[in-house]
Chains A and B, each alone.
Chain A
Amino acid sequence: MAEISSKYPQYTHDYHLVGSDKTETTLLEEMRQPAWTVFNNIGLPTARRGNEKWKYTDVRPIANKTFVYAPNVSIDRGLELKSLENFTPNSDDWINLVFIDGVYQPRANKKILDSVEVSTLHEALENHEELVKKYLGREADYSEDGFTALNTAFIEDGAFVLASESSEENTVVNLVFLTSGQVSDCVTYPRVLLIAQPGSHLSVIENYVSLCESSSLTNSVTEIYVEENATIKHYRICLEKAHGFHVGVSRVCQEADSTFISASFALGAAIGRNDFHVLLDGEGANCELSGLYLTLNDQHQDNFISIDHAKPNGTSRLFYKGILDGSSKAVFGGNVIVRKNAQKTDAQQTDKNLLLSDSAEIDSKPSLLIYADDVVCGHGATAGHIDEDTLFYMRSRGLDAETASRILIHAFAAEILDKVDLLPLGEFLNNIYDEYIPSATLSFGSVQ
């Protein structure tokens, strides 16, 4: 124990300050302590030998860096609130919950509905203690996961969303976790608990946005429980800066006949990790996970996605696309497991990549583990450059090479972007990609 603590002295220092000024949050305190113990035993996954989960991603740059726990630093967090809409998607019709540098901003919350409760974990502990007790941490197992252990050891607050049966499809909850950049080398531990009660409907957006030009770490854990017949549309937006590290853990548990449709968008992190796991724990559950990652320069994006078909008659669609430029690297590790009694499972997974430079690298490993015998499953992965004949075809119509390649890259991305059916979010993302993609084509101009 002493060994790991001495390796991460800043975490140890900060850990002892968490919640030290509060007296009431006993449940969170009870969760923190064992998680801290586990973190002390296993640390961060810096050893890759024999570690399939981190085979293609070296986390030593994260482990070797000293980060300061942002909420412990006293700053004016209201500053960014006014200009928030410049960095995040927004609509007056959405219910917002905003955390800046890990601290909840009550002023951002304007809309209140009876059918959907959106609050902090603190408030939830007062109003729904039993629910929080039952669900928080249930699927976010940290026994072998140093990042989840660290997040759990630092649970101080978080976002709580509870959709009841009377909720309506067009209800949108917009969760914002902003790293302001006011604290250099800061770390935040966003935590989300979403419970969709039987028959409920909801769209939810998780935004992880950093304005921090120095190094920063976002270590998030989200748990989503989709109960019988509930439908959740979920969007995960990660917009990091050049020196930002992002390790996002998402755990979804679906009950019978539930639907979970999710799209993840990852941009900008020096090292980004999207660890997304869905457990289909009820019969006839349906899940669609899609994602778009764009890596530039020497960025690294690791998508570690798994779907566990534990019950019969489930369907899953896993569809990720990547655009890689410069000497960036991306990983797609897709794992679909079909358990022995999960008969009549229909599972497809696809990963397609567009490489804009010769030095970009994709490690795409879709895998299927099937233990049932009456299933329809398939997987595939592709990686390719922009086709020269296609480019010539477009140029022969008067489009210059850069415009032509930009149109092709946009079209490639559009297959995922078009899955966004919230207009303000779709526009926001299209603008973001517009901004990023032109720079990605500059290095491409020489290929003719």
Chain B
Amino acid sequence: MVNQAISPLLQIVDLCVSVEDQQILKGVNLTVNAGEVHAIMGPNGSGKSTLANSLAGRPEYSVVSGEVLYRGEDLLALEPEDRARRGLFLAFQYPMELPGVRAWQFLKAAVDAKRQHNGEEEMSAREFDQFLKDKVSQVDIDPELSRRNVNEGFSGGEKKRNEILQMAMLEPDLALLDETDSGLDIDALRIVSEGVNKLRNPSNAVVLVTHYQRILNYITPDFVHVLVDGRIVRSGGADLAHELEEKGYDWIREMVS
């Protein structure tokens, strides 16, 4: 029997993943406890996004070997929607546009799916209206975004902000942010970061995948891991990010070679 209080929220053991027959992750080990923020940094092509997407269950990412336990449960055996309903959330690097799908309808379906999984009733339209309104003001995004079709015709920054709104609505226990900072100007970066900070609490965790140290000025990580060529080659505290920013990824590459 799994004791949720003691076991880590997420435990990745020797994870190997390939995409289109090319192996990208070559044995990743990572443990994330509730209340922690982990930053996964690394150069382009190192496998950061692959890690985030495999955890969310993206179909074209096939797990070759290894194990992922989420609250002690085999995460890899679950469909993407079942992972989401259990509290895992992936903020996409490139959020999809859903032409003609109203944000309201989409968000309500998502929230209700999770509630249903938890044995709760679906929200009434009125309850949901209020919930949405609260979250929109909590993460400080333009209410107009929540009235439009999901991401349709949104700018890159608007899409990223919309991801944070969805995250706020779904109140995940484990949030994976896949390069949420990329393509954001400084104002958008601040809004997105503040949104994430507001959602942090002792019972949830954030895994933040990023190329740049910049976002870590706003969201302070407890741990920084450097991913190179499909493996975590170095782990440390927030200082490691600054060191990386200063010395560049070549420094790490040289160190590990």
Contacts and interface: CB of A to CB of B under 8 A. Distances in A.
Interface of A: 387-390, 392-401, 403, 407-408, 410-412, 414-415, 448
Interface stretch (B33-41, B94-102, B209-217, B226-234): B94-102
Contacts of A392: 57-59, 80
Given A390-B96, A396-B81, 16 more contacts: A394-B106, A395-B84, A396-B80, A398-B85, A398-B113, A399-B110, A401-B81, A403-B109, A407-B98, A407-B101, A408-B98, A411-B98, A411-B99, A411-B100, A414-B100, A448-B59
Contacts of A389: 96
Given A408-B98, A411-B99, A399 B109 contact: yes
B90 interface: yes
Interface in B56-93: 56-60, 79-81, 83-85, 89-90, 92
10 contacts: A390-B98, A392-B59, A392-B80, A395-B79, A395-B81, A396-B90, A408-B98, A408-B101, A411-B100, A412-B100
A322 to B, nearest CB: 15
Given A388-B59, A393-B96, A448-B59, A399 B81 contact: yes
B59 A394 contact: no
- The CB with the most chain A CB atoms within 10 A, among B83, B89, B96, B117, is that of B96
A403 B109 CA distance: 9
Contacts of B98: 390, 393-394, 407-408, 411
B132 to A, nearest CB: 14
Nearest to A418: B100
Contacts of A395: 57, 79-81, 84
B180 interface: no
Contacts of B89: 396
A133 B165 CA distance: 65
Contacts of A403: 109, 113
A397 B100 contact: no
A414 B152 CA distance: 15
> In this complex, which of B81, B83, B106, B114 has the most chain A Cβ atoms within 10 angstroms of its Cβ?
B81
A398 B111 CA distance: 8
A415 B100 CA distance: 7
Interface residues of B, number: 31
Rank and list the top 3 A-B pairs by shortest CB-CB distance, nearest first.
A411-B100, A398-B113, A398-B84
B114 A398 contact: yes
Interface string B187-198: 000000000000
B105 interface: yes
Contacts of A415: 100
B166 A397 contact: yes
Contact of B113 (A399, A411, A412): A399
Interface string B99-136: 11100011001100110010000000000000000000
B128 to A, nearest CB: 15
Contacts of B114: 398
B99 A397 contact: no
A410 B110 CA distance: 17
Chain B CB within 10 A, most for which of A394, A401, A408? A394
A400 B92 contact: no
B59 A407 contact: no
Contacts of B109: 399, 403, 407
Contacts of B84: 395-398
B96 A398 contact: no
Contact of B101 (A400, A411, A448): A411
Contacts of B51: none
B106 A397 contact: yes
Contact of A393 (B92, B105, B117): B92
Choose among A389, A392, A403, A412 the residue with the greatest number of B CB atoms under 10 Å from its CB: A392
B170 interface: yes
Contacts of B100: 410-412, 414-415
Given A389-B96, A393-B92, A407-B106, A398 B101 contact: no
A396 B113 contact: no
A411 B149 CA distance: 10
B95 A393 contact: yes
Contacts of A408: 98, 101
B155 to A, nearest CB: 18
B106 A396 contact: no
Contacts of A400: 79, 81, 113
Contacts of B57: 392, 395-396
A408 B98 CA distance: 7
A288 B92 CA distance: 39
A408 B106 CA distance: 10
A102 to B, nearest CB: 39
A388 B60 CA distance: 10
A410 B83 CA distance: 25
Interface string B4-47: 00000000000000000000000000000000000000000000
B58 A398 contact: no
Contacts of A448: 59
A218 B219 CA distance: 67
B105 A407 contact: yes
A448 B166 CA distance: 23
Nearest to A415: B100
Contacts of B95: 393
Contacts of A410: 100
A414 B149 CA distance: 12
A399 B170 CA distance: 12
A323 to B, nearest CB: 13
A445 B110 CA distance: 19
Nearest to B101: A411
B34 to A, nearest CB: 21
